[in-house]
Amino acid sequence: MTATEPAISVGPANEASWADLRTVFGVRGPAARCQCQRYKLAPREAFASFPAEVRADRLRAQTDCGNPESGTTSGLVAYLDGEPVGWCSVEPRTAFAGLVRNNRVPWVDRAEDKTDAGVWAVTCLFTRAGFRKRGVSRALARAAADFARERGARAVEGYPITTKNVISEELHVGTESVFADAGFAVVSRPTLRRVVMRVDFAESGRHPVR
């Protein structure tokens, strides 16, 4: 790293403060509205049924932020020169009820066991406005693969958007190039704009690209 390159660090969200997490999610825009609950909704739940404050409370409980001794958390927080700038949701795929219920992404043309907790998923990966195009998302994707592998995952998947016909609000899932740079390989393309990418640790012995 040269003197002009930013210092990016990534750590488990339980080691971050709630204030840092709130800074990353902001007070307006898609991240602030969602609070990373899109794939956490229970059957018959909808965003309209509970306000953003309740979603934020759920995120706080899921991350266990501010509790560095915790053995569980739902994601990672990135810092750029000490400033909280990015978030990545990474857990066993079975933790995302909405993902399991989805009929298209990531299941189309795949013979997958939806109950396999050995496969982890990266469902959200984004960088705060003002800090983008500085390597934060790539650092988060690499760290997510490390995080999953170190906690016993057999594989980890991401479901990024392609760069063609991209809608800005869809960027929370990351882009194909970001996952490719982190060592993920394409396994299917369930829609025109979405791709399933994966690292299989047990089968290939692959490690995330550094």
Residues near 42 by beta carbon (within 8 Å), at least 6 away in sequence: 97
Angle in degrees, CA 205, 207, 210, rounded to 5: 160
Which pLDDT does position 192 carry in this prediction?
A: 85
Which pLDDT does position 169 carry in this prediction?
A: 52
Pairing, β 119-127 against β 83-92: antiparallel
Give pTM, 2 decimals: 0.89
Which pLDDT does position 155 carry in this prediction?
A: 97
Based on the number of CB atoms within 10 Å of its own CB, is 106 exposed (0-12), middle (13-18) or buried (19 or more)?
buried
Lookup: tokens for 35: 């609070």
**Three-state helix/strand/coil letters over 118-173:** CEEEEEEEEECCCCCCCCHHHHHHHHHHHHHHHCCCCEEEECCECCCCCCHHHHHH
| C-alpha–C-alpha distance, residues 107 and 123, integer Å | 14
Which pLDDT does position 47 carry in this prediction?
A: 80
Residues near 2 by beta carbon (within 8 Å), at least 6 away in sequence: none
| C-alpha–C-alpha distance, residues 198 and 184, integer Å | 5
In the chain the domains, ranked by start, together with CATH numbers, are 8-204 (3.40.630.30)
Q: Could you tell me the mean pLDDT of each successive run of 10 residues in the chain, 210 residues long?
A: 68 97 92 92 85 93 96 95 96 95 88 94 93 93 97 96 64 89 95 93 56
